[in-house]
Amino acid sequence: MNALKNSSTALLPIGKSKPQKSITVFIAAMLLAMLAGSVAAHAQAATLVVTAVNSGRFYGDPNPAFTATFTGLRADDNITAVFSTVADSSSPVGDYTIVPTLVDPDGKLSNYTVVINNGTLTVTPAPLLVIADDTARAAGQPNPTFTGMVQGVKNGDDITATHDSPATIASEAGTYPIVPTVKDGSGKISNYAVSISQGTLTVTP
């Protein structure tokens, strides 16, 4: 009993132990290291700039083959692009966006910070040539039925022409213009750059 009475026991203080504090500090250090590694990896990523090349065509024509420039692409990385636009051959004159979409069969895009620049497709008026045919008649006779042609109509647009002349049955011998007038049954003439070639009516004595 005396031995028990004279012995002393050291009691540890109640609360967080030193091992627990060390674990917390260790986890925090690991998280900071992972964050630093992620930031460093991002900083080391190459910048890939893909820019669609602007293009143009006439109204009614098919879209051309679109292309792009690649800046920052490593030589061994098989990264290409395909392109889309809302414009087709029936789209009216105007500007349309060319959108590149990257194709990455080998999974290399994660090594890049990618910047994509869209391009512009410009649809311009299609050339339309309206031609009146030359013809002749004798003085004192009525004008014949004038003829001609319209060249360059696209998409089956309802664009035709009529022809007339200031010459009348009473006109003296000489030459007179035959003037075409464009008829736009489909409301599409704004998609054309129209050139008119007059004909000649020759009135003989």
* Residue boundaries of the structural domains of the chain: 45-124, 126-204
Do 45-124 and 126-204 agree at the fold level?
yes
**Residues 20-30: pLDDT tens digits?**
555 554 555 55
User: Which class does domain 126-204 fall in?
Assistant: mainly beta
Please state the pTM of the whole predicted model.
0.74
**Residues 72-126: pLDDT tens digits?**
999 999 999 999 999 999 999 999 999 999 999 999 999 999 999 999 999 999 9
- The CATH code of domain 45-124 reads 2.60.40
3-class SS letters over the chain: CHHHHHCCCCCCCCCCCHHHHHHHHHHHHHHHHHHHHHHHHHHHCEEEEEEECCEEEECCCCCCCCCEEEECCCCCCCCEEEEECCCCCCCCCEEEEEEEEEECCCCCHHHEEEEEECEEEEEECEEEEEEECCEEEECCCCCCCCCEEEECCCCCCCEEEEEECCCCCCCCCEEEEEEEEEEECCCCHHHEEEEEECEEEEEEC
